[in-house]
Amino acid sequence: MPTRWFNSRLPQTLVVSQFLLYFDAFWAILAFLSVSVNSAVAFNFVGRIVALGSIGGYLFGAWGIANERKLGYQVAIAASFLPLASRVVNTFGAGGPLEHLGYILTSGNIINVMFEYALIVVLLHSQSREHTRIWFS
């Protein structure tokens, strides 16, 4: 069976999720490269691992959904929550998550957060869950 990078024959929610996963991977790669090049701002070691893990999760999740793999769908769900989880972890060093709830929910960039939340919504939509439960291997 040949592998594919994009599957337009899936339900609309899964097609949109593939697009959003690749979209988020593209922006995560650009952010990782721009921070790596800029010497004034640097990721710590854990930040680099999380950033690379999220990029890999986005790409593997989109590829897995396109090839109708349950593991790909599960990785996509985990990767979609990584930005939110990393903001929660970042706030522990700055006084705790309750003091920085606005940063956790919006991260100061409302457009980016809209795409993050849209990805979570389409992946957890009942149509996506039902299709993956029945048809994915």
User: pLDDT by residue (tens digit) across 49-71?
Assistant: 778 888 999 999 999 999 999 99
Lowest mean pLDDT among 43-47, 61-65, 80-84: 43-47
Tracing tokens 């929610």 back to the chain, one arrives at 13
| pLDDT at site 93 | 67
Q: What is the Cβ-side half-sphere exposure of residue 39, based on CA atoms within 13 angstroms? A: 0
Give pTM, 2 decimals. 0.85
Average pLDDT value for residue range 23-38? 79
| pLDDT at site 41 | 46
Domain ranges of the chain: 12-135
| pLDDT at site 35 | 67
Going by C-alpha positions, the residue among 122, 86, 116 that lies closest to residue 104 is 86
| pLDDT digit string, tens, across residues 1-28 | 568 999 999 999 999 999 999 999 998 8
| pLDDT at site 40 | 43
Please give the Cα distance from 88 to 116 (Å, whole number). 15
Please give the Cα distance from 92 to 33 (Å, whole number). 25
Please give the Cα distance from 26 to 22 (Å, whole number). 6
> At a CB cut-off of 8 Å and minimum separation 6, what does 66 contact?
3, 4, 5, 6, 7, 10, 18, 72
- The average confidence (pLDDT) of the chain is 85
